Amino acid sequence: MRVLGVDPGLTRCGVGVVEGVPGRPLTMLGVGVVRTPADAEPGDRLVAVEQGIEQWLDEHRPEFVAVERVFSQHNVRTVMGTAQASAVAMLCAARRGIPVALHTPSEVKAAVTGTGRADKAQVGAMVTRLLRLAAPPRPADAADALALAICHIWRAPAQNRLQQAVAQNRLQQAVAQHAAHATKGRTT
């Protein structure tokens, strides 16, 4: 499985591609940051993020895109830029028919370090170790993007099985309701 992880941001959007399957060593295929000038207009910055992500999609051809789920932050301006960059990443993937998964920061930290309260240094250290790198990727946005990709590789099979079980359960409930309704219609 090849996954492009995206740590969304308007100034620095971390991107990283990891390939592998659960239980086997993972391979980093690329890591970087799409940067935009802080003084540029928001629309121009979003176009730059889009162009950067499109280049990564063209070069690495991922099967999945894992994006950090945006959640409430104290700084509204920061969360807006993060949400906008996240939407651009999802749009780029959707345009190509690539499935997108959203993972919360605590979910990613727990998957990579074993605790959802890990700090940036711990995440960077574990990404370095898991991908057998000489040094932690810099800046932290790049390491976070790789952590997102790792999280998705490790969690996607279990999440898919859970989604299939939920879908199967819903189907069984619908069939039972239909049968009950059909039976009720015959007895009245």
- Entry pTM: 0.83
pLDDT band with cut points at 50, 70 and 90 for residue 93: very high
Q: Residues with catalytic annotation?
A: 7, 68, 141
Q: Which residues does 161 contact at the CB level (< 8 Å), separation at least 6?
A: none
Does residue 22 sit in helix, strand or coil?
Answer: coil
The pLDDT score that the predictor gives to residue 181 is 76
pLDDT band with cut points at 50, 70 and 90 for residue 168: low
Question: Distance between CA atoms of 41 and 6, rounded to whole angstroms?
Answer: 22
Using CA atoms of 85, 87, 92, 95 in order, give the dihedral in degrees to the nearest 10.
-170
Q: Is the pLDDT of residue 118 over 80?
A: yes
The pLDDT score that the predictor gives to residue 173 is 79
Q: What is the pLDDT of residues 37-57, one digit of tens each?
A: 999 999 999 999 999 999 999
Q: What is the pLDDT of residues 68-80, one digit of tens each?
A: 998 766 777 778 8
Determine the average pLDDT of the residues in 84-97.
97
The pLDDT score that the predictor gives to residue 73 is 63
The pLDDT score that the predictor gives to residue 165 is 53
- In CATH terms, the superfamily for domain 2-187 is Ribonuclease H-like superfamily/Ribonuclease H (3.30.420.10)
